[in-house]
Amino acid sequence: MSEKEVGKINFFIKAGVIFLAVIFSAVSSFGQKADNNKIIFIVTPEWDGQTNKDGTGLFFDIVRSVYEPEGIKMKFEIVPWKRAELMVTSKKADALLDSYMENIVGKEMLVPVHPLVVEATAAVFRKDKISIWKGPPSLSNMRAIWLRGYDFHKSPHLKGVIFKKWDEIDEYDTAWHLLEKNRSDVYLDARIDMQRYINKYKIDMSHYRLETVGEDKGYIVFAKTGKSEKLIKIYDKNIKKLFKSGELERLFKKWDYPFPTDVWE
pLDDT value at position 119?
93
Question: Tell me: the pLDDT tens digits for 17-72?
Answer: 455 444 444 444 444 444 689 999 999 999 999 999 999 999 999 999 999 999 99
Q: Name the class of domain 38-117+218-254.
A: alpha beta
Residue 166, pLDDT above cutoff 90: yes
Q: In whole angstroms, what is the distance from residue 120 CA to residue 105 CA?
A: 20
| Global confidence as pTM | 0.82
Q: In the chain, where are the structural domains located?
A: 1-36, 38-117+218-254, 119-216
154: amino acid identity, one letter: K
Nearest to 236 by CA among 124, 117, 83, 116: 116
Alpha-carbon distance of 77 to 139, in angstroms, equals 35
What is d(CA 99, CA 108) in angstroms, rounded to the nearest whole number?
13
* The amino acid at 163: F
Q: How far is CA 246 from the centre of its chain?
A: 24
pLDDT score at 150: 86
The pLDDT of residue 215 = 93
pLDDT in tens, 7-28: 555 555 565 545 544 444 444 4
Class of domain 119-216: alpha beta
Check residue 191 and give its pLDDT: 95
Sequence-distant (6+) residues with CB within 8 A of 218 are 98, 99, 100, 115, 116, 117, 118, 119
Q: Where are the alpha helices (DSSP H) in 128-188?
A: 172-180
**Distance from CA of residue 59 to its chain's centroid?**
9
Which residue type occupies 45? P
Three-state DSSP at 158 gives helix
233: pLDDT strictly greater than 90: yes
In this chain, the answer to whether the domains covering 38-117+218-254 and 119-216 adopt an identical fold is yes
